[in-house]
Every structure is written in C-alpha cells, then in structure tokens.
A and B are shown apart, each in its own frame.
Chain A
C-alpha cells in the first residue's frame, strides 16, 4: 500500500477552479484594459509629443479639378486644370502621385514632363512636397466629336492622389516642451493652489455637513424616510441640471439670490458670484459641498444606525450630557467611516471636472488641474500639453492611492 501523505501543490480541482475564475474575469479584464490601461499608456505617449488638435487629421493632398475655356465645338482647345495642395502647413508629404482618366474625345496636346499618358490613363509623379505646397497642372486638350457625343466631362472621373506623410502621433519625434510649458510660471502654482483649496475644503465641508444631516435624521419619526429621500436629491439629479439651476439662481443680473440679498439689505450692488475672484472659487466649493454632502450623510447615517443603543443608555445613567455622549461615544465609533470617506472623497473631489467646467468653465480663478486638461487640450488646441497635465494628475493620484491602500487595509467596511 502506498504511503499516505497530504497532497502537495495545487491539485487538479484547484487548477480547474482557477481556470474558471480567469475565464469569468477575462471579459472584464479585456474591457478594462482597452479603456483604462491603453488610454493611460496613450496619455504618457502623447504627453511627450508635440501634438495639436489639428494634427489629429493626417496631412493629405487636396485636389480640385476643372476644365477651362470653351469645349462646345469640335476643334476647341480648352485646358484641364488640376489644383493640388498640401492640407498641412507644418507636415511634408512624400511621394505624391496623381492619376486620372481623360475622357474619350479629348486629345492631349502637350504633357507636363512629370506625367505619363498610357491610353486614357494619366499618371503624374509629383515628388516630395514641403508643408503648404501648392501645385497647378494644366493640360491643353483638343476637343473631338466623341467628347461632345458621350457627354463625359473630366470631372466625372475623380482623380486619385497618393502620398505618405508621417503622423505626429506615431513618429519618433519627442519633446519635453509640453511639460516645460505647463510647469512654467505662476499659472501652474495657481492651478495647484486652486485644486488644493477646492479639494480640501470641498471634502471637509461635505463631510461636516453630511455629519450634521446624519445627526438630524438619526432618530425615527414620521417623515424620516421622506426627508432622507429629499436630502439625497442634489446627488441624484444630473449635474448639468443642478449646475445650470445654480447659475440661474446666482445670476448677477436676474438671479433670485441677488434680488433677495439686495432686498434684505445685505448688499447694495448685485454680486457676480461665479465671475469674481475669489468668490467664484468659494462658490464652486460650496456647490461641491452641496452636491456631495448627501453621500457622506448616507454613509454616516448607516454607520450611526448600527451603533448599539445600550451604550448611550449606560452613559445617560452615568450622567453624561448629550454633547459628552456625542464626543466620547459617537465620534470614536464614527472615526473609521469618517476617515475612509475623507480619503475616498478627497480623491474623487480631486478628480472632479464636470462641476467646475459647467459653473465657471475654469474662469475667474477656478481652474483646477482637471479643468486645465480640457483647457490645454481643447481651448488652446494643444493636445500634448493637455496630456502632460493629465500625467501630472495621474502622478498625484498614484501617490494618494499608495497612501490610501496602506491605510484602507486597516479599515474594514469599504
């Protein structure tokens, strides 16, 4: 009889299970790789490339063809004209060729030396083009009867062109200009400061307001469900709807908030809430708090409701006042969820783009790093610089995440 021994290594069952697991995960992994990993690599690549928005379309040969002069009777001598140009002002095109079919009944009288004619086909080799090159080929032809009879015009057979151009996205030109540009000057410091202000105050504010709301609703009474639902509204509504509602509410000319403040005598003149430094930054931070307090409220409330009530009864018996109970019993119990929420919200507020973009478009001193990506890439049309900002953001996030993973492993729950 063989010696009995516990199995060593992975058995066939475990292997099968692992295979199944990878099979089940594969679609997700593939999708995530396609849309997260690849773009991230692309961002790194692009950030070292001098790419502008216009470069996304590769340079090409643009061609117009027409016939000039009379071609109404036999013996007329019109000219076929080809006008060609390089669509790009910066990129050369090499090996440009053009080919066309000359309609029947047109006899070529004189041929450009770069072109050859074989039968009805015309082939021209136009060589290498510098950026912005323009060329005009004119071919005088004589009209014969067949041309007038079959009614085919030179434009009816579209001429084809070829040419190779190097695409700036795939060639081997690299530059550090993008980084030099975004780190340059006071602008970057201001963007960083605005991001920090927005993130820190937005996060802390949303947490504190959420805590207050959770304290209010942490007792059962009639209508608690309704109020809980109501307090979630800002988070559930589409951001674009609430952002525009805020803009209209705080409009400097016809906004109700201004009318109200003037009427109450708080201010004499209308305040341009979203157009003045530093008020605009404060307003977008307030908007962030308003929109995301429901989230922290929900989590804190869920945690509060799982705290054992006996503890409070015991504290009551021992004479602890309500504030003491809150400070010495509730706060320590909530510390875990509060710190997890703080870390998560911090990162997500840092990532936030839509809110500021819709409220101010990054004007009036509210340009955060994320808005700067859009600003560089689309407003200034410098995709490379936008990508460089994105790389900076990613670097910050990586730092946060390492810290976060270290920390969150100690916190159960989330």
Chain B
C-alpha cells in the first residue's frame, strides 16, 4: 500500500520537513537565543504537499525552486514549518526561513530521486527510505555529539546571570575580547589549574612509560614463547580487566591510607599503570602474533639473543602498535577519575579530573566548571584528532574497555 509513489512522496516529504524544521529551530535557538520552534502540524502539511509535488513533477528544477520560494515565504508570513516568537529579530527570522527552505528543497530532491507517482519496486521504495534515514542519521548523530560540547564551550564563555536569564542564548559578545576568557584566566591564576594540567600530563606520560616497560616483555612472552600455561594466560588477561575498579578501589584506599601513600603523586603513579597493563598486554600480544616469525628466527640464527631480537627486530617492526597503545593508555590515564577522586585530597596534588570535581560546588560559578571541563577535554581531543588513525586502530586492536 505504502509502496506507491503518490503516497511515499508525501509521507517522506512530511517526515523530512519535521526533521529539518526541528533541526533548524534548534540551531537558530542555540545560535541567537530567540524563540524559534517547529510547527509540527504545519510541517507535516507543507512537507506532504512538497513531497507530492516533487513526485509528480519528476525532479524538474523549476519545481524545486518553487518549493524553496514557497516555504521561505510561508515561513516569513508566520505559517511556515518553523514558527518564531514575536521578539525574534527580523534578520534571524529571515535567515531561518530561507535556510530551512533551501535545505529542504535541496535535500528532498535526492531523497525522492527514483520515486514515481505509480507503483514502486521494492528497490525504489527502500532506496528512498534508506536515503531519508541516512539524512536523518547524519543530522541526529552530529547533533547529539556536538550539542553537549557546544554547551560546554559556550557556557564557559558566559557569566552566571546571563545564563540564568536566557538559558538558550549562547551568543557571545566578541567585542569583550580577552574578558571572554575570564573564567579560564581565573582557573589558572586562582584555582591552580596550571599545576593540575602539569600533574595530569606527567602522571599520564609516566603511566604510558611504565605500562610499556611491563607490557612489552609480557606480551612478547605470551605471543611468541612456548611454555606451559600460555593459553590460560592469554585468556586470563581479559578476565583481569573485567574486575571492576570500584571493587579494587576500596582495598586500595584502605592500604594507601595505612601506608601513607594516599595523597601522594607516586601513589597515583604506582596504581595507574596496573590498571592499564592488562589492556596494553592484550593489544600488544595480538599485534606481536601478527608479525612474521621468520624475521625473528633469522635474527636468532645469526646469533642474537632473544632479548636482542625483541629490542632490534620486534620493537622497530611494531612501532605503529606501540603508538596506538601509548595513545590509548594516555587517554585512560588522562581521563581517569575514580582513583584520583578517592586517593587525592590535597589541592596541590590534584590531577585535572580531580580538580574539576573540586569545582563542583554551589559557591563556584558554573562557567568555571565548564571552563575546567574544556581545559581537560581540549588536549586529549587535539591529540586524538591529530593521531586519529592510530587511535582508531588501537581501539579496534582488541581493547573495548570503557
């Protein structure tokens, strides 16, 4: 029943219009703070009409332009798919209506590309549905990923009273210049965030280093050397990293309290690598297994010892894997929160995550909290984007720790 062009077109058109009008309304609200909202019923009606027109016209350019103009005019007249409050600025309304109209007209044509008024084949029908879902998917995922980060960055640039007045108004006054970054400035000057940043950095780097020192020989032994219990070992690594941190954190807290390791930099440096060694071991042994054994055997024949083979042949060959593992371990150590929260009380020794947790109080304004979050997020994001290829590989290489 639904597989008829005169039905498919309007239905997909109506749904697509709803998707777009919600998207544009949210975008415009977040960008300007003015009240924009989608009119669901109007969207359905206009979208259905446009979809029908598109199907019957069969992709004529003129119809596309006509739809665009019509949607824009309706929008400005106040009966379009997106409604705006009376206090919205004219420029914003104009921009919103035109953007919605253009986006709709331009994207509907490819969605309804093969749809003809009569009966559709399964191929044509499902193709159209898939194109609609694809479009929806891109918008949906981009929105859910970006909105929290957008809110984080923008909140850090505003002040409390502005935020209370209109929680939707994320526009920032660029004219304020350096004043915009006041909360960052205060975090670094009054809240010691410079120290936290350094602490986090050193702890993470040391963690990576120590983890590799332990994991490389272990992974090599499991991957290459034959000994009794080898199979059981590669199994139990995974098991170990399934033990929840909170279960271990309790006795570790008690032991650290009793030995005075709590509240110390070295206590954290001791404990972090142990949480990452199993992951690193697992990732590395998978990689070592994939390396050709003949090269190493040739080295052994030529008189190198096993350790020399590891140092001169295996490690140089596995540099990409080492990079992935290092990045991944760095990320775990940088983002670690639970142990830092439980084991550190002295503000001079905080890591970034612990520092942010300390900002979560009613006396400290929210933009400080968000500025702290941005400070913690930006370095790891920059590292990640710069080395995305390694990261993706590293993550799929056998680590699914969350």
Contact = CB atoms under 8 A, between A and B. Distances in A.
Interface of A: 14, 17-18, 20-22, 24-25, 27-28, 31-32, 34-36, 38-40, 42-43, 46, 56, 169, 212-213, 215-216, 225, 227-242, 244-246, 248-249, 251, 253-256, 258-260, 263-265, 290-292, 295, 298-299, 302, 321-324, 341, 344-345, 347-354, 357-358, 370, 373-374, 377, 383, 386-387, 390, 393-394, 397, 400-401, 405, 408, 414
Contact of B29 (A215, A263, A298, A348): A263
B221 to A, nearest CB: 4
Contact of B392 (A34, A298, A348, A405): A298
B320 to A, nearest CB: 16
Interface in B210-268: 213-215, 217-218, 220-222, 225-228, 230, 233, 235, 238-240, 242-248, 250-252, 254-255, 257-258
A40 to B, nearest CB: 7
Interface in B361-402: 366, 369-370, 372-374, 376-377, 380-381, 384-385, 388, 391-392, 395-396, 398, 400-402
A208 B379 CA distance: 30
B366 A35 contact: no
A353 B375 CA distance: 23
Given A46-B254, A397-B242, A25 B233 contact: yes
Given A234-B148, A256-B170, 11 more contacts: A25-B222, A28-B217, A28-B277, A34-B274, A46-B254, A230-B146, A236-B331, A236-B384, A239-B335, A248-B155, A256-B167
Contacts of B274: 31-32, 34-36
Given A241-B377, A259-B167, A263-B35, A40 B247 contact: yes
Most buried by B among A239, A260, A358: A260
A76 B24 CA distance: 91
Contacts of B155: 248
30 contacts: A18-B228, A20-B306, A21-B230, A25-B217, A27-B218, A35-B274, A35-B275, A36-B248, A39-B247, A40-B247, A42-B251, A46-B254, A56-B258, A236-B380, A236-B381, A237-B381, A238-B335, A238-B337, A238-B356, A238-B380, A240-B353, A245-B373, A249-B148, A256-B167, A260-B168, A264-B25, A302-B396, A348-B402, A386-B250, A393-B244
Contact of B149 (A228, A233, A345, A354): A233
A60 to B, nearest CB: 14
B334 interface: yes
Contacts of B123: 321-322
A232 B384 contact: yes
Contacts of A36: 240, 243, 248, 274
Contacts of B75: none
Contacts of A43: 247, 250-251
A345 B252 contact: no
B251 A256 contact: no
Contacts of A240: 335, 337, 353, 356-357, 373, 376
A9 to B, nearest CB: 12
A313 to B, nearest CB: 14
A52 B33 CA distance: 52
A15 B64 CA distance: 78
A28 B243 contact: no
Contact of A40 (B243, B395, B401): B243
A196 to B, nearest CB: 16
Interface of B: 25-26, 29-30, 35-38, 85, 122-123, 126-127, 130, 134, 137-138, 141-142, 144-149, 151-152, 155, 163-164, 166-168, 170, 213-215, 217-218, 220-222, 225-228, 230, 233, 235, 238-240, 242-248, 250-252, 254-255, 257-258, 271, 273-275, 277-278, 281, 306, 331, 334-335, 337-338, 352-353, 356-357, 360, 366, 369-370, 372-374, 376-377, 380-381, 384-385, 388, 391-392, 395-396, 398, 400-402
B161 to A, nearest CB: 10
Given A32-B274, A238-B377, A230 B250 contact: no
B26 A322 contact: no
A380 B360 CA distance: 21
Contacts of B334: 238
A324 B122 CA distance: 10
A32 B337 contact: no
A84 B217 CA distance: 56
A259 B145 CA distance: 19
B133 to A, nearest CB: 8
A323 B357 CA distance: 47
A20 to B, nearest CB: 6
B217 A27 contact: yes
Contact of A255 (B167, B215, B396): B167
Most buried by A among B30, B164, B166, B217: B217
Most buried by A among B168, B254, B338, B402: B402
A51 B134 CA distance: 57
A213 B137 contact: yes
B400 A348 contact: yes
Contacts of A394: 243, 247
Contacts of A228: 388, 392
Contacts of A400: 242
A35 B142 CA distance: 40
B214 A27 contact: yes
Contacts of B254: 42, 46, 56, 169, 383
B170 to A, nearest CB: 8
Contacts of B273: 31
Contact of B277 (A20, A32, A242): A32
Contact of A244 (B26, B137, B360, B398): B360
A403 B238 CA distance: 14
A54 to B, nearest CB: 12
Contacts of B170: 256
